[in-house]
A and B are shown apart, each in its own frame.
Chain A
Amino acid sequence: SYELTQPLSVSVALGQTARIPCGGHNIGTKTVHWYQQKPGQAPVLVIYRDTDRPSGIPERFSGSTSGNTATLTIRRAQAGDEADYYCQVWDSMTVFGGGTKLTVL
Chain B
Amino acid sequence: QLVDSGGGLTQPGGSLRLSCAGSGFSFRNYTMNWVRQAPGKGLEWISYITSSSSAIYYADSVKGRFTISRDNAKNSLSLQLNSLRVDDTAVYYCARGVSGFDHRHSYFYYLDVWGKGSAVTVSS
Q: Which residues of A32-86 are within 8 A (CB) of B? A: 33, 35, 37, 41-45, 48-50, 54, 84, 86
Query: Could you say which residues of chain A place their CB within 8 Å of the CB of B43?
Result: 35, 37, 43, 86, 96, 99
Q: Is there contact, CB below 8 Å, between B42 and A86?
A: yes
Question: How many residues on A have C-beta within 8 angstroms of the other chain's C-beta atoms?
Answer: 26
CB-based nearest B residue for A54 = B112
User: Is B59 on the interface with A (CB-CB < 8 A)?
Assistant: yes
Interface residues of B (CB under 8 A from A): 33, 35, 42-45, 48, 57, 59, 93, 97-99, 102, 104, 106-112, 114-117
Q: Is there contact, CB below 8 Å, between A31 and B108?
A: yes
User: Is A30 on the interface with B (CB-CB < 8 A)?
Assistant: yes
Q: Is there contact, CB below 8 Å, between B110 and A45?
A: yes
Query: Could you say which residues of chain B place their CB within 8 Å of the CB of A90?
Result: 99, 107-110
CB-based nearest A residue for B59 = A93
Would you give 25 A-B contacts (Cβ < 8 Å), ordered by A?
A30-B108, A31-B102, A33-B108, A33-B111, A35-B43, A35-B111, A41-B116, A44-B114, A45-B110, A45-B111, A45-B112, A48-B98, A48-B112, A49-B108, A49-B110, A54-B112, A86-B42, A88-B111, A90-B108, A90-B109, A93-B57, A93-B59, A94-B48, A94-B109, A99-B43
From known contacts A33-B110, A49-B108, A90-B109, infer whether A42 and B48 are also in contact, taking CB-CB under 8 Å. Answer: no
